[in-house]
Amino acid sequence: MSKARTCVVLMTLALASLQFQSSVFAFDNQLSRETLRGLQGVRVMVAPQKWAIEQKGLTADQLQQDTELKLRLAGINVPSAESPEIPGKPLLYVNAKILKYGSLDRYIFNIKLELNQGVSLIRMPSVKASATTWSVAATGTSHKLSIVREQLQELVDIFINAYLSVNPK
């Protein structure tokens, strides 16, 4: 067994021994919130994954729709694919990695929610790039896939609070 696989198995067993465990990691502070000021909306993209769990009822499309709906209900503009680009091309990027561990009825997940947008270098303003300016992440384990959806919604709530703190309605 490779060293990497051994580490994964040990981590999985440690996480599987817990009923439900979740940790949230954040790059959500006043400076990162300031990078959200003036955004006219965000596009949402869920990273494509090959999930064996899609047969169990959780799909990338579902996560995309959940996220877009929650943002719209909070009053945040989520343009359609046909709409013109928003200045700075802000993109709320969802990267969910979900693993079902063998015969155990347990899912291990890591969800990252990142706001990427156009930036330029101070020393060379003509150099423009896309960068992550705000992010949160959660890692956990559960016996229910619905917990993964709920965890993503909690991360989206954190984004909504951050966005509205610098863009009050």
pLDDT tens profile 67-91:
999 999 999 999 988 888 899 999 9
What is the predicted pLDDT for the residue at 104?
72
Spatial neighbors of 74 by CB under 8 A, at least 6 apart, are 160, 163, 164
- Distance in Å from the first CA to the final CA of the chain: 55
Domain count, the chain: 1
**Mean predicted confidence (pLDDT) in 4-26:** 53
pLDDT of 9 above 80: no
Residue-wise pLDDT tens digits, 22-58:
555 568 899 999 999 999 999 999 998 776 566 577 8
Query: Structural domain of residue 10, as residue ranges?
Result: 3-166
Q: Which is more confident, 13 or 41?
A: 41
What's the pLDDT score for residue 6?
57
Q: pTM of the predicted model, to two decimals?
A: 0.81
- Domain with residue 142: its CATH number is 3.30.160
Q: What are phi and psi of 143, to 5 degrees?
A: -90, -5
State the pLDDT at residue 18. Answer: 45
